[in-house]
Amino acid sequence: MGTFLSWNCRGIRSKLQDLKGFINFFNPVCIGLQETFLSSNIPLKLRGYNSVRKDTSTGSNHSGGVCILTSNLYPSTPLTLHTSLQAVAVQIHARTLVTVCCVYLPPHDVVSQQDLETLVDQLPTPFILLGDFNGHSTLWGSDVTNSRGRQIERLISNNVSVCSIMMRKRTSTNPHAHSTVSIWPFVLLHFCRCCISPSEVISATVITFP
């Protein structure tokens, strides 16, 4: 099916060269970006990729924001989501039709369980959730479980009937910059309710910079 990347970039405008490097290295089908720090009047264009964005509102110092970049080698269609959460979604034809949703949940925002369930209910199956949920849980290797982690546990428990197995690879593309990326090449099961990898729900960013 190809490679899917997820990155909490904490401001994409200053990280464009890094992003282009990841694209050249991995040739991903799809990239989910969190904390883009973009406003509606700031363009984001990358050769060979289409973008779907949800920017933060004016007056919020451009914090937050999510974006999905999809390779134009794979037909894709944006999905309209009815949610107040920072989330965007697309459907991508990558051998089979799959829905990809990118989510950012700020650590101090109050997010109801119903908001999460309503978001998931809008996603055609099978789907992949990419994002930074700021959820800690011992189920995915954290030392402690926080309230957001318990929410994500319930989300998984309520919605996953069959979860595909994804191998997490941690690869340094530039050892001097200490930048790392996690990628998931996998075969998606057609009959699964949804697919959520432990790597997608831990609070640490998928790509980190010093």
Q: What is the pLDDT of residues 95-140, one digit of tens each?
A: 888 899 999 999 999 999 999 999 999 999 888 888 888 888 887 7
The per-residue pLDDT for 115 is 97
How many other CB atoms are found less than 10 A from the CB of residue 196?
24
The per-residue pLDDT for 172 is 34
| Per-residue pLDDT tens digits for 119-129 | 999 999 888 88
The per-residue pLDDT for 160 is 57
The per-residue pLDDT for 70 is 97
The per-residue pLDDT for 139 is 79
| Domains of the chain (ranges, CATH numbers) | 3-208 (3.60.10.10)
Task: With beta carbons less than 8 A apart as the criterion, state whether 64 and 104 touch.
Answer: yes
Token pair 């369930």 in the structure block, residue: 117
The per-residue pLDDT for 148 is 92
The CA dihedral of 205, 49, 129, 195, to the nearest 10 degrees, is: -120
Strand partners, 69: 31, 51
Residue 205 to residues 35, 130, 133: CA-CA distances in angstroms? Answer: 11, 11, 9
Residues of the chain with pLDDT under 70: 1, 57-62, 160-210
Coil vs helix vs strand at 148: helix
The per-residue pLDDT for 186 is 34
The contacts of residue 50 (CB under 8 Å, 6+ apart) are 69, 70, 72, 76
Give me the helix-helix angle, 113-121 and 147-159, nearest 10°. Answer: 30
Quick one: how many helices (H) and strands (E) in the chain?
A: 3, 10
Quote the CA–CA distance of 106 and 91 in Å, as a whole number: 25
Coil vs helix vs strand at 77: strand
